[in-house]
Amino acid sequence: MLPLQLQPQSHIPLYIQLRDQLRALVHTGELRPGDRIPASRELATHLGVHRTTVANAYAELESEGLIQGHVGRGTFICAADGTMKITPPAPSSPISATNGAVRWESLFSDERGDEALSRLTDGVPAEGISFVLARPDAQHFPVAAIRQCCNTVMKREGARILQMGASDGYGPLKEVLLDLLRSEGLQLRNENLLITDGCQQALDLICKAFLRPGDSVVMENPTYPGAIAIFAGARVRCLGVPVRAESPDPKVNGNPLASPGVDLNALEATLMANRVKLIVLTPDFQNPTGTSLTIAARRRVIEIAARYQVPIVEDHIYARLRTREKTPSLKQLDRGNGVIQIDSFSKMAFPGLRVGWCIAPENVIERLRLVKQTTDLHTDQLSQATLAEFIRRGWLVRHLNKMRALYTRRLAAIEKALERHLPEGARWTRPEGGMCVWVELPAGFDASELLIHAREHGVLFAPGRYFYFQNPQPNTLRLGFAGVAEREIARGIATLADVLRVEMRKRQRGARRAEVPRVALV
């Protein structure tokens, strides 16, 4: 069957999703002229949608001249050279017949919508409190220190920085990073390290290097929306594994199956039932749930992945924001060569410089380097050189220690406020670091609706639906605490709890009303 994946929860109509995915398969060459595509009834059954959904998508593609139906023989992909008659493209042409203007939307390659979380904060008054984003606090950026580093490197090697650079990264940054990573116990050579524009780009490069439309990756569900967008854009099948928010077992460290984080039984079952190309995981302070895998669970993940021979992409972006002692990463625990680790300065320092890195076996790094070359040639050299200087002076460690202490206080403040204010029936995760806490409202609540009321009172958060690529749980939400001062945290959570209580009372009243027996009108 064709590699098609429809998302019923998307606001994009199913027939448009199907039309665009079929069109993409033609453009990528997966479907070639003369190929027969399934009958609408057959495809509808396979996708679990109504037959008219498929019929509407086929009708659009036929009007574009991409497919043609032949009574009794089936529906076929058309050739551009006219081996099959192509319907004139007038109705769907990107050029409007009436005014000659280009209809750009009709040319977009896919159906992605603007679902960016950052848009939630649009139009919020300055005194509003936003828990929407998981970002560092810009008020604490050491701007003067960065300016000093920037001036130094420009004075010392300005011409070199302004010239084109190496696609694997700026040499001095690679050197200081290798020192840092080796001091953490990783046996690395220069050839194991690629500088990227951040973890988002690393995921994109990995996707381009390894995945074709229809391939499958396993990801935590819910997960970081940027990863969902990359794989969806590449027509990759995302197989979701649920994330366990809390451990029911007090002896959790010894029992990997009771670890918070990705559900290991479900992971194994997914690998058993599917041909999977990559497993993408965030073992430390997973975004959005804030959960971390225990050491035992990490060992088990590596064992399971090795058994099914599926490489792991470990997103290590939050790992250095741990309030207590550090847990070894999958990369540190891996005795084979099955882990690609991606990391970045975005959470531990400054996301605006857009610098991150990726560590992997040499042949993987070489392939990713080639892909990067065709993507952006190399990462910005002024950012790389400035960060190298910042690290060399010992200022990154100093900054990180300061921010870790700040975030630890903020985490304690949000836990205290949640404990104190949230009504019974709401549950939340207890991370030991990172930037977010995940809340589960009582069953039946919709966090998107709650946001409408909370917004009226100047408090914002990220509804859970942004983070799911399947089976969204509407009663979930993420609270990003790193960028909110302690006093604001206390005020914001108290307000949110008040709003939630009002909504709960409304629901109770509604339920009671529904219980009153109706008097028959005679």
Ligand X SMILES: Cc1ncc(COP(=O)(O)O)c(C=O)c1O
* Interacting residue ranges for ligand X, rule: CB under 6 A: 134, 198-200, 224, 226, 282, 287, 315, 317, 344, 346, 351, 356
Report in angstroms how near the CB of residue 335 gets to ligand X at its nearest: 25
Supply angle C-alpha 364, 339, 303, rounded to 5.
140
Which of residues 445 and 467 has its CB atom nearest to ligand X in the complex? 467
Which of residues 200 and 381 has its CB atom nearest to ligand X in the complex? 200
* Helix orientation angle between 381-392 and 143-162, rounded to the nearest 10 degrees: 130
Report in angstroms how near the CB of residue 5 gets to ligand X at its nearest: 22
Pairing of strands 312-315, 339-344: parallel
What are the start-end ranges of the H helices in 236-294? 264-273
Which of residues 347 and 455 has its CB atom nearest to ligand X in the complex? 347
Report in angstroms how near the CB of residue 346 gets to ligand X at its nearest: 3
Which of residues 77 and 245 has its CB atom nearest to ligand X in the complex? 245
* C-alpha dihedral, 36 to 38 to 40 to 45, nearest 10°: 180
Which of residues 61 and 207 has its CB atom nearest to ligand X in the complex? 207
Which of residues 198 and 483 has its CB atom nearest to ligand X in the complex? 198
Which of residues 67 and 462 has its CB atom nearest to ligand X in the complex? 462
Beta-carbon contacts of 488 under 8 Å, excluding residues fewer than 6 positions away, are 129
Rounded Cα distance, 466 and 41, in Å? 32
Report in angstroms how near the CB of residue 130 gets to ligand X at its nearest: 15
Nearest to 330 by CA among 369, 292, 274, 364: 292
Report in angstroms how near the CB of residue 322 gets to ligand X at its nearest: 15
Q: Residue number with the shortest CB distance to ligand X?
A: 198
Token pair belonging to 398: 């100093």
Which of residues 281 and 499 has its CB atom nearest to ligand X in the complex? 281
Report in angstroms how near the CB of residue 203 gets to ligand X at its nearest: 7
Report in angstroms how near the CB of residue 119 gets to ligand X at its nearest: 15
Which of residues 47 and 278 has its CB atom nearest to ligand X in the complex? 278
Beta-carbon contacts of 32 under 8 Å, excluding residues fewer than 6 positions away, are 77
CB neighbour class for 98 (10 Å; exposed up to 12, middle 13-18, buried from 19): exposed
Report in angstroms how near the CB of residue 198 gets to ligand X at its nearest: 3
Which of residues 150 and 353 has its CB atom nearest to ligand X in the complex? 353
DSSP assignment string, 66-132? SEEEETTTEEEEPPTTSSS-----GGG-SB-TTT--B-GGGG-SS------GGGGGTT--TT-EE--
Helix (H) or strand (E) holding 286: none
Q: Which amino acid is at 195?
A: I
Report in angstroms how near the CB of residue 98 gets to ligand X at its nearest: 43
SS3 of 383-434: the string is HHHHHHHHHHCCHHHHHHHHHHHHHHHHHHHHHHHHHHHCCCCCEECCCCEC
Pairing of strands 476-480, 436-440: antiparallel
Q: What are phi and psi of 344, to 5 degrees?
A: -165, 160
Which of residues 49 and 435 has its CB atom nearest to ligand X in the complex? 435
Report in angstroms how near the CB of residue 357 gets to ligand X at its nearest: 10
Report in angstroms how near the CB of residue 356 gets to ligand X at its nearest: 4
Q: Tell me which DSSP letter residue 236 carries.
A: P
Verify cis geometry, omega within 30 degrees of 0, for the bond prior to 431.
no
